[in-house]
């Protein structure tokens, strides 16, 4: 195992550590002991992830004195529904889980969201631990306590803030991701450079080939720097009343694209990549962003093999879905728009302006 990197998220009594280490997944039981987790534990995962990592996690937990219950949910965003959460409750109830027991999310962002939401709502809240296995989950979704499920009208419309007790990220598990899944996760890494750290963005540009090829040292730095930025932002605004909103960069457009394509055509990161480009094009249209910064961002996303073009979706459909987004305030749709690499602003865009922008994009693609 490589040296353990520890990032502490200070939220008073809800504080916890983000641990990053190659081989860390095999020390999960030991980590739980150190933070005094006791009682029953259930691992929420899907069958594929269980086949890949389940045995190592079970062995580690058993060595630490736990007897883990394995709860399977189907793989994929389209199963992130209240119905599937009900099936998790069924197993917790039949196995007599109590408020002193703990859930473990073993998987990507979908598993983390579902496990976290089940933990937030079962018996009015029990403990959970994040053990993320995708890039998106390691650099973003597992940190910060956002949990939830989707509704046919939009992503994550049903949810709760519920902080985990621990996040354990093991970069070695990323080697078993499909190339597409791995690339999709890099969109969230690029996001951090655009919203908060110009020098990190430059690091990504310089090391794009190494990162694309899963070179261990570069990947470790990507996970650590992204995690550190997420920790710092969440610490300053736990429940997204202000600064934390910048983490939604690219997501309003991206979620609309995912929703309108049935959560099946695009991976989450692919939707975010397109969404970031759209947000940057909107910023350029409004005179906020220099065209060179837009080109740098498109070039980096394309170097990681990510899509940057808006699919053929009707502007009125995009507007309808974005109007039900959870980031709408007082009927106005708020966007995170870059002013330069490393700095963004949060601002409302009138629907008339947004409609004109989407129609101009639609015309240029038709």
Q: Which of 244, 245, 281, 296 is catalytic?
A: 244
Greater pLDDT, 122 or 1? 122
What distance in Å separates the CA atoms of residue 189 and residue 185, rounded to the nearest whole number?
Answer: 7
In the annotation, is 230 catalytic?
yes
CATH superfamily of 179-365: Dehydroquinate synthase-like - alpha domain (1.20.1090.10)
Greater pLDDT, 8 or 268? 8
Mean pLDDT for all residues in the chain: 94
Q: Tokens for 127? A: 């403990």
Task: Give the range among 54-63, 95-104, 114-123, 233-242 with minimum mean pLDDT.
Answer: 233-242
Q: Which of 46, 156, 248, 270 is catalytic?
A: 248
- Determine how many CB atoms are found less than 10 A away from the CB of residue 346: 15
Mean of pLDDT values over 207-233:
96
Burial class (CB in 10 A: 0-12, 13-18, 19+), 221: middle
Mean of pLDDT values over 222-241:
95
Q: Which pLDDT band holds residue 365 (cuts at 50, 70, 90)?
A: low
Helix 351-365 × helix 315-323 angle, to 10°: 140
Task: Give the range among 93-102, 191-200, 298-307, 351-360 with minimum mean pLDDT.
Answer: 351-360
In the annotation, is 244 catalytic?
yes
What distance in Å separates the CA atoms of residue 293 and residue 290, rounded to the nearest whole number?
Answer: 6
Contact of 4 with 153, CB cutoff 8 Å: no
Task: Indicate the helix (H) or strand (E) that contains 18.
Answer: strand 16-20
In the annotation, is 365 catalytic?
no
In the annotation, is 188 catalytic?
yes
Cα dihedral 254, 256, 257, 263 in deg (nearest 10): 100
Order of strands across the sheet with 16-20? 5-9, 16-20, 166-169, 127-132, 102-107, 41-45, 69-72
Q: Which of 181, 188, 258, 270 is catalytic?
A: 188
Q: Tokens for 156? A: 């994550």
What distance in Å separates the CA atoms of residue 347 and residue 333, rounded to the nearest whole number?
Answer: 8
Q: Which of 155, 255, 267, 281 is catalytic?
A: 255
What distance in Å separates the CA atoms of residue 219 and residue 356, rounded to the nearest whole number?
Answer: 40
Q: What is the pLDDT of residues 132-152, one digit of tens each?
A: 999 999 999 999 999 999 888
Q: Tokens for 299? A: 């070039």
Q: Which of 155, 191, 230, 245 is catalytic?
A: 230
Q: Which of 96, 124, 352, 363 is catalytic?
A: 124
Q: Which pLDDT band holds residue 326 (cuts at 50, 70, 90)?
A: low
- Determine how many CB atoms are found less than 10 A away from the CB of residue 269: 31
Q: Which pLDDT band holds residue 49 (cuts at 50, 70, 90)?
A: very high
Q: Tokens for 114? A: 């579902």
Spans of all domains in the chain: 5-176, 179-365
- Determine how many CB atoms are found less than 10 A away from the CB of residue 316: 11
DSSP string, 48-63: HHIIIIIHHHHHHHHH
Name the class of domain 5-176.
alpha beta
What distance in Å separates the CA atoms of residue 194 and residue 197, rounded to the nearest whole number?
Answer: 6
Round the CA-based radius of gyration of the chain to a whole number and report it: 20
Contact of 63 with 29, CB cutoff 8 Å: yes
How do 69-72 and 146-151 pair as beta strands? Answer: unpaired
Contact of 9 with 15, CB cutoff 8 Å: yes
In the annotation, is 240 catalytic?
yes
Contact of 142 with 133, CB cutoff 8 Å: no
| pTM summary value | 0.92
In the annotation, is 40 catalytic?
no
Pick the closest to residue 249 from 276, 226, 286 (CA basis). Answer: 276
In the annotation, is 251 catalytic?
yes
Mean of pLDDT values over 203-225:
96
Contact of 9 with 130, CB cutoff 8 Å: no
What are the backbone angles phi and psi of residue 71, rounded to the nearest 5°? -115, 120
Q: What share of the chain in percent tops pLDDT 90?
A: 84
How do 166-169 and 127-132 pair as beta strands? Answer: parallel
Q: Which of 7, 58, 80, 251 is catalytic?
A: 251
The Cα-based distances of 28 to 97, 104, 167, 248 in angstroms read 20, 10, 10, 30
């Amino acid at each position: 195992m490589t040296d353990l990197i520890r990032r502490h998220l200070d939220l008073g009594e809800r504080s916890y550590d983000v641990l990053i280490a190659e081989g860390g997944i095999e020390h999960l039981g030991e980590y739980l002991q150190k933070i005094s987790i006791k009682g029953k534990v259930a691992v929420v995962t899907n069958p594929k992830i269980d086949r890949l990592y389940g045995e190592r996690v079970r062995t580690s937990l058993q060595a630490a004195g736990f007897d883990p219950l394995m709860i399977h949910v189907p793989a994929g965003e389209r199963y992130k529904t209240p119905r599937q959460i009900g099936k998790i409750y069924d197993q917790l109830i039949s196995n007599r889980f109590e408020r002193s027991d703990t859930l473990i999310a073993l998987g990507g962002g979908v598993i983390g969201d579902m496990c976290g939401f089940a933990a937030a709502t079962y018996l009015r809240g029990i403990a959970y631990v994040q053990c993320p296995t995708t890039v998106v989950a390691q650099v973003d979704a597992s940190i910060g306590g956002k949990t939830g499920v989707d509704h046919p009208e939009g992503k994550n419309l049903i949810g709760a803030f519920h902080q985990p007790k621990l996040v354990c990220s093991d970069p070695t598990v990323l080697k078993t991701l499909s190339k597409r899944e791995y690339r999709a996760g890099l969109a969230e890494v690029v996001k951090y450079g655009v919203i908060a750290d110009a020098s990190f963005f430059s690091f990504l540009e310089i090391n794009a080939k190494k990162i694309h090829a899963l070179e261990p040292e570069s990947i470790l730095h990507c996970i650590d720097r992204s995690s550190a930025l997420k920790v710092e932002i969440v610490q300053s605004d736990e429940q997204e009343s202000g600064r934390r909103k910048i983490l939604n960069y690219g997501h309003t457009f991206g979620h609309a694209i995912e929703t309108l394509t049935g959560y099946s055509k695009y991976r989450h990161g692919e939707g975010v990549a397109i969404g970031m480009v759209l947000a940057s094009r909107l910023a350029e249209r409004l005179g906020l962003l220099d065209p060179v910064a837009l080109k740098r961002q498109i070039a980096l996303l394309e170097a990681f093999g990510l899509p940057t073009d808006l699919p053929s979706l009707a502007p009125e459909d995009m507007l309808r879905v974005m109007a039900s987004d959870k980031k709408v305030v007082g009927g106005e749709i708020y966007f995170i728009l870059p002013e330069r690499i490393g700095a963004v602003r949060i601002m409302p865009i009138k629907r008339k302006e947004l409609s004109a922008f989407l129609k101009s994009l639609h015309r240029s693609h038709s």
